[in-house]
Amino acid sequence: MADVLDQSDIDALLAAADAPEPVKVAEKLQIFSRGRASTEGVEIRPYDFKRPERVSKDQMRALQTLHEGFARNFGAALCGFLRTIVEVKVASCEQMTYGEFISGLPNPTCFNLINAKPLEGQICLEISPLIIYPIIDRLLGGNNQDLFIPQRAMTLIEMRLISRVTGKGLSALGEAWAGVKEINFDISTTESNPQLVQIVPPNEVVVVVGFEVKMGNRAGTMNLCIPYNVIEPVMEELSAQSWFNTAKASRTSEVQQKVTGSLGRAGLTVTGILAETTISLDDLKNLTVGDVILTDKAVSDPLVLAVEGEKKFLCSVGKFKQNRALSIHRAIKVGDRV
């Protein structure tokens, strides 16, 4: 039986409710400083020694900007792969301990351990089952209507299918980090229970970038966990100055060689123009076999070589191995009248 209040207890409660609230006397905060005589105007903020902030705000902003580029590239790759509109955007970027990160993950989930060579250590990529199974259903020809999300670990077939999605994600992640350092990302193992994976001690500081993935009427989360000791060698390059100069730094000879090599295999149409003139439409209709069209161009003048319709070189006509050939003299200059 529950306790029953008697009349004296009721009177005591009513009297306590009517009584004025006691005035709280603000305690004077004492600040001890060796180099400051007066402590007026000093901003005081609490500091938790369990969660040390080892990444500066500028570096956190640089990491967020870097992974916003990754989200755009990954979303575009998924759109082409799944043949549907997929939106990936950064939802949060914060630092916490590895134990706090693991405790906030569901079980089971898609937990991938990723090697980031030449950096030492591993990073984690966790993808929620709320978006994993709609993607698998889409790959198998489904329409995601009345889709049941099972609460179990993924089968080998499902892991094989989702590895193609994570592979595109790692490719986009490598492109995003290319402005800071060339890193090769590859998955070492995949687990369903994140509690079984300890890549760093529980109190180690990690940077967690949270993403929101939307596909049609389905949505889920994706978390990228980067331990601080993994990216510590490149933290100097994540300063604001180096981040804003990545566009200039990317214009290297190596990039130019890659672009030149890719464009060098493209096919082009080359045309030799003997002469050009204008005639009336009536003359064009009355042309017959054997007629002669007069031009203002002398026989000794060089011909014009056009590439994809653009006049580029001056040349002369000849024969090479029983075939008609054009010998290039020089490139067409701005003042040439051709």
Residue 209: per-residue pLDDT? 92
In degrees and rounded to multiples of 5, residue 9 shows phi and psi of -65, -40
**Do 205 and 228 touch, CB atoms closer than 8 A?**
yes
Q: Do domains 57-249 and 270-331 have the same CATH topology?
A: no
Residue 187 backbone dihedrals phi, psi, to 5 degrees: -80, 130
What is the residue extent of each domain of the chain?
A: 57-249, 270-331
Tens digit of pLDDT for each residue in 204-262? 889 999 999 998 888 899 999 999 888 888 887 776 444 444 445 455 677 788 888 88
The pairing of beta strand 110-117 with beta strand 122-127: antiparallel
For residue 67, give the nearest of 187, 224, 205 by alpha carbon.
224
Q: Is the pTM of this model over 0.75?
A: no
Tell me whether the omega of the peptide bond preceding residue 302 falls within 30 degrees of 0, making it cis: no
Task: State the Cα–Cα distance between residues 56 and 21, nearest whole angstrom.
Answer: 43
What CATH superfamily classification does 270-331 receive? SpoA-like (2.30.330.10)
Residues contacting 312, CB < 8 A, separation 6+: 305, 306, 331, 332
- The DSSP bridge partners found for residue 111 are 126, 191
The predicted structure's pLDDT at residue 89: 92
Closest CA to 125 of 64, 60, 210: 210
Residue 243 pLDDT: 47
Fold of 57-249: Chemotaxis protein chec (3.40.1550)
Tell me, what's the pLDDT at 1?
45
Q: Which residues in the chain land under pLDDT 70?
A: 1-4, 18-53, 239-252
